[in-house]
């Protein structure tokens, strides 16, 4: 990450935290941009600008960061409804659909996002895309048992499939002990159809297509902050 990209991510994250109000229950996303938001939230709690915040972390890494910044966390059973989740994205299309999962936390991220009244995404402007799959491979979380069957299935759907590794010898493991298959489809023509096929497949735990979930996307770039709101059909 260049210093310029990091600055843009921080700007987007800090702007998103302005949506937070005292007394809220928050979802804390995973990844470099979301960590900037977690840090900004901790600073506002420490200064007294915010109070009575309770949060749920979408990954073990985020939970560690939240404790470091003295943000109170609820238990993982998610006993309360979430008012607002702030998270990042790997790719965003014009309809504010997302590809997520670059950090490997897509299962928890989607669960918390769907349990939230409002979902805000923060990203640098390089994540804007004309069609999902153009700039980022789709992460698909699979159980280790029989994972090659899922690889063949995904290949048959048109993807170039790569098992994610942490190094040359060991596969990457999610917080739930699963594998990630990074699936390069190229531009995806029908998001809903692909999502339905992946949702129906036994052995696939979750996929990184977040369709109709983001309410607000905040981009930061050389031209400053751009805030986009999802259009809802009525």
Model confidence pLDDT, tens digit, residues 53-65 = 999 999 999 999 9
Active site residue 109: yes
What are the backbone dihedrals phi and psi of residue 49, each rounded to the nearest 5 degrees, phi first?
-65, -35
pLDDT at residue 1, as a whole number: 67
What residue spans define the domains of the chain?
3-129+211-222, 138-205
Q: What is the pTM of this model?
A: 0.95
Q: Which residues of 29-59 are buried (b: 16+ CB within 10 A; e: fewer)?
A: bbbbbbbbbbbbbbebbeeeebeebbbbbbb
Residue 41 gets the label, from left (phi > 0), alpha (psi -120 to 50) or beta, of alpha
Of 109, 141, 192, 206, catalytic: 109
* Residues in the chain, total: 234
Sequence-distant (≥ 6) Cβ neighbours of residue 75 within 8 angstroms: none
Looking at the chain, the whole-number percentage of residues with pLDDT higher than 90 is 94
pLDDT at residue 232, as a whole number: 64
| Helix, strand or coil, per DSSP, at residue 180 | strand
- Is 104's pLDDT higher than 80? yes
Q: Give 152: exposed, middle or buried? Use CB within 10 Å, 0-12, 13-18, 19+.
A: exposed
How many Cα atoms sit within 13 Å of 162 on the Cβ side?
Answer: 10
Helix (H), strand (E) at residue 60 = helix 60-68
pLDDT at residue 169, as a whole number: 86
Task: For domain 138-205, give the fold.
Answer: Alpha-Beta Plaits (3.30.70)
Per-residue pLDDT of 203-233, as tens digits, reads 999 999 999 999 999 999 999 999 999 876 5
- Out of 3.40.50.1360, 3.40.630.30, 3.40.50.2300, 3.40.50.2000, which CATH number does the structure's domain 3-129+211-222 have? 3.40.50.1360
Output the DSSP codes for 208-229: SEE-S--SEEEEEETTEEEEEE
């Amino acid at each position: 990450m260049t210093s310029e990209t990091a600055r843009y991510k921080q700007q987007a994250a800090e702007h998103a935290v302005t949506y937070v109000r005292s007394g809220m229950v928050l979802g804390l996303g995973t990844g470099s941009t979301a960590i900037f938001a977690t840090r900004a939230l901790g600073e506002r709690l420490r200064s007294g600008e915010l109070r009575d915040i309770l949060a749920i972390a979408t990954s073990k890494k985020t939970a560690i960061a939240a404790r470091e910044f003295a943000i109170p966390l609820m238990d993982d059973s998610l006993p309360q409804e979430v008012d607002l989740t702030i998270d990042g994205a790997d790719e965003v299309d014009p309809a504010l659909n997302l590809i997520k999962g670059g950090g490997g936390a897509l299962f928890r991220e989607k669960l918390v996002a769907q349990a939230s009244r409002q979902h805000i995404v923060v990203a640098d402007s390089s994540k804007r895309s004309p069609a999902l799959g153009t700039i980022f491979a789709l992460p698909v979380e699979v159980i280790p048992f029989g994972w090659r069957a899922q690889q063949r299935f995904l290949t048959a759907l048109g993807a170039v499939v790569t098992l994610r590794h942490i190094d040359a010898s060991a596969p990457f493991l999610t917080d739930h002990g699963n594998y990630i298959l990074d699936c390069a489809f190229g531009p995806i023509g029908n998001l809903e159809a692909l999502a339905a096929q992946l949702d129906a497949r036994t052995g696939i735990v979750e996929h990184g297509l977040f369709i109709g979930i983001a309410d607000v996307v905040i981009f930061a770039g050389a031209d400053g902050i751009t805030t986009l709101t999802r259009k809802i059909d009525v």
